[in-house]
Amino acid sequence: MMKEEFIYCPSENNTEILGFDMAGKSFCDGSYSIARHKSEIYVLEYVLSGTGTIIQNGHNYTASAGEIYLLQKGTQHRYFSSKENPWVKIWINLKGTLMEHLLEVYPLEQVVYPGDEQILEYFEAFHQELTSGKPPQELQKSCALLLHGILSSLYFGALSRHQQEPDDALKIKRYLDQHVLDSVTLEDLCSHFFKSKAQIIRQFKKKYGITPYSYLLEIKLQYAKKLLTQTNVPIKEIASRLQFADEHYFSTYFKQVEEVSPSSYRSNSQH
């Protein structure tokens, strides 16, 4: 038997930035069907159980338990529940410039996305906010943050699923980036990545054109330049932080690369 729970959204809570058209929870049956010729709203729905069909601009999609579908403003769409395994879903219908701008930042071009526990919590919290009785300004603020959470989670979730596993050279580079303040030896890399010295050097140099050691010195130097220009940390301490043998070795290397001593580099940056 069809049942729907609606959340009333007073117009005083709406702004041009974020408008709450309607929200609720649907316990569908085979008769459930919604159609819009040119939608004036954005539709965000989280399927809790069951399955159903979505048709947007002539393309068919299926959304089942644990999935979310996003229907864009301006589209022609229709969505309907399976009779045999009907939807139970929580949903929010929205409008406003915030949604437009967030979708520019997070270009969500799919219709159906995998959900997760965090996103479901955002939906439930959104409903709680709409029934909280908060003043309009506070409601706008809290719901804007939740909407950002939903869309950013969908976007970065999709992004991570489409990214390839990083190759070995990139893994080595990321490791060095994370250990710029450490003394990392080639032996350390071999132990961490279970590779020989020759393999480590060959794979890294093939991709980046330099050895891992040269790259580590390069990023240490870049960090040293930031410390010289943006802080008053003594040069001796900079050398120590970056795991150079001593201040003299650091200064010699710095001058060799930059053609100016660390102290001169610092003083020149202040003029």
Q: Could you tell me which of 7, 35, 33 has the C-alpha nearest to residue 20?
A: 7
**pLDDT tens per residue across all 271 residues of the chain:** 789 999 988 889 999 999 999 999 999 998 999 999 999 999 999 999 999 999 999 899 999 999 999 999 999 999 999 999 999 999 999 999 999 999 999 999 899 999 999 999 999 999 999 999 999 999 999 999 999 999 999 999 988 877 666 788 999 999 999 999 988 999 999 999 999 999 999 999 999 999 999 999 999 999 999 999 999 899 999 999 999 988 898 999 999 999 999 999 998 877 6
Q: What architecture (CATH level 2) is domain 3-162?
A: Sandwich (2.60)
Q: Which residues share a beta bridge with 95? A: 19
User: Where in the chain are the domains?
Assistant: 3-162, 168-269
pTM of the model: 0.67
| Secondary structure (3-state) at 162 | helix
| Domain 168-269 CATH (choose: 3.40.50.1970, 1.10.10.60, 3.40.190.10, 3.20.20.70) | 1.10.10.60
Token reading at 180: 């710029």
Angle between helices 168-178 and 197-208 (to 10 degrees): 90
Q: Which residues share a beta bridge with 35? A: 78
Q: Which residues contact 140 (CB under 8 A, 6 or more apart)?
A: 13, 15, 17, 18
| Secondary structure (3-state) at 83 | coil
Token reading at 5: 């729970």
Q: Could you tell me which of 211, 137, 138 has the C-alpha nearest to residue 173?
A: 211
